[in-house]
Amino acid sequence: MIGIDLIRTDRMQRFIDRFGEQGLHRFLSASEISLVKNPKTAAGFWAAKEACAKALGCGIGSECGFHDILLSKTPKGAPTISLSPRVLEHFHIAGASVSITHDGEYAISVVALERS
């Protein structure tokens, strides 16, 4: 299953201007927030979580919330994605991959999920 999402980075800038770090807590964990360097990074994380929910076929909601999708980085800075045990079991997910890129005013992410 594959999901993709695109977000304008200025949209994330407006979100941060309005809600500050408290707004980031709505969709990111504390460890994810520690990785956010600027609004572009936050936008990439938003896109990755939205892309994952699209790959699951449910969107963000009761079946899979923002905090069920966890992003981190490898020592070389590549993004990684993991899912909560509840989501892994419910959707029978055996593996997940993520790619995040930025181009100009956009952050784009693709997530591929493998069912067990």
Query: CA-to-CA distance for 25 and 33, rounded, in angstroms?
Result: 8
Look at the chain and count its residues: 116
Q: Is 92 a catalytic residue?
A: no
Identify the residue whose tokens are 């994952």: 52
* Residue 45 in tokens: 């994380």
Return the amino acid letter for 66. Answer: F
Q: Is 102 a catalytic residue?
A: yes
Which one is catalytic: 25, 40, 67, 102? Answer: 102
Which one is catalytic: 54, 73, 76, 90? Answer: 54
Query: CA-to-CA distance for 116 and 113, rounded, in angstroms?
Result: 10
By C-alpha distance, which of 111, 108, 112, 116 is closest to 5? 108
Query: CA-to-CA distance for 72 and 1, rounded, in angstroms?
Result: 21
Please list the active-site residues. 54, 102
